[in-house]
Amino acid sequence: MFLIGEALIGEEPELAHVDIIIGDKNGPAGQAFATGFTQLSAGHTPLLSVIRPNLLTKPATLIVPKVTVQNMDGAAKIFGPAQSAVARAVADAMDEGIIPKEQAEDLVIVASVFIHPQAEDYSKIYRYNYGATKLAVQRAMEGFPDVDTVMEEKDRTMHPIMGFNVTRLWDPPYLQVAIDIPDMDFVKKVLTQLPQSDHLIIEAGTPLIKRYGLDVVSKIREARPNAFIVADLKTLDTGNLEARMVADATADAIVISGLAPISTIEKAIKEAKKTGIYACIDMLNVPDPVKVLKDLSVKPDIIELHRAIDAEDSEYAWGSIPDMKKVHPKLLVAVAGGIGKLEAGSAKVSDACSAGADIIVVGRSITKAKDVRLATEVFLEDMQKAEIDQYRVMTDF
């Protein structure tokens, strides 16, 4: 047996984060236990977990401090409330049947314990570490999380200590506001008026980037630190270089022209995946988007079916959406060009969603509206998609 568990509970500075390994004495867990017990490191002295002096918990548990213990005050927190909390949580887990009693002498536990140097409240230190240890043990014994849970949750939340959110597109449809007027004062005005929404994407349009360069992405990031930002470069050459530049500028997605050579598109996609950003192919003027998608050995995250501003009297090209999703089931499809609210001859958001679109790109109908916030909210309402909470803190599922 070799099981791994983890849990974080509480609030700073007394919050508890406990990582554990549970396994057989005669296996790798037992070897780690013996090695940690005998090979000491300054400031990280491991200690056996006791409920009280002279009463060792079972299964035997070794505590390894994560944070360097620099003085006796820090040592007292580890040797006092933290040690007792871990020991009692392990014993209670066995008493409640989480750990089988018949395995008490066969198993060992290694617990890595975090104690903030500024933690002062011994009661909170005890209670948080007890809860974190108990939950970590339970998760280890149950094999939590399973692979399906990881796949479902990985894009929904971020680590709370990060202090910011990296938005992922896991809950379509989304409204993408394209800001392409090359005027920084205009951009700032639009950004201040856009509402906060989990289903809102901000695009730095091609004319805007051509005038200000990718530095404009940093300006947008300053105004909207948690936004999903698309850099519409319409890359035609040096795909890997431009994808890297977009990632370095803190954008979340690069737009590549579907007219670029296949090798350029593939290099851009590979570099985007390497840097953790999305790769979007703009199919503007591409006669057969499905063929381009099929020809790629590595698939993009997003395909944009784009009707140009200069050709808004032409038909919408949304009929190929089902065919593209057959080629790449995880593909998101964006549609752009001529999508309005009530204007004659314009398509509505609901029309695009019904056609299978995942991202609705809207520009001047929002950015040049008299009331940008109201216009955006009307589009969002037309999507008929409830808000999501990407900042939830979960200790259980």
Active site residue 17: yes
Give the three-state DSSP class for 383.
helix
Number of Cβ atoms within 10 Å of the Cβ of 334: 28
Q: Is 6 exposed, middle or buried (0-12, 13-18, 19+ CB in 10 A)?
A: middle
Evaluate whether 145 touches 12 at the Cβ level (below 8 Å).
Answer: no
Q: Which residue has the tokens 């506001």?
A: 177
Evaluate whether 280 touches 204 at the Cβ level (below 8 Å).
Answer: no
Residue 159 phi, psi dihedral angles, 5° rounding: -65, 130
Give the three-state DSSP class for 188.
helix
Kindly report whether the peptide bond that precedes residue 182 is cis, defined as omega within 30 degrees of 0.
Answer: no
Helix 184-193 vs helix 215-223: crossing angle, to nearest 10: 30
- What is the C-alpha separation between 256 and 264, in angstroms, rounded? 9
Of 17, 44, 159, 328, which residue is the catalytic one?
17
- What is the C-alpha separation between 194 and 315, in angstroms, rounded? 29
Evaluate whether 292 touches 263 at the Cβ level (below 8 Å).
Answer: no
Angle among Cα 304, 309, 310 to the nearest 5 degrees reads 125
Specify the DSSP element, H or E, that contains 336: strand 332-336
- Give catalytic residue positions: 17
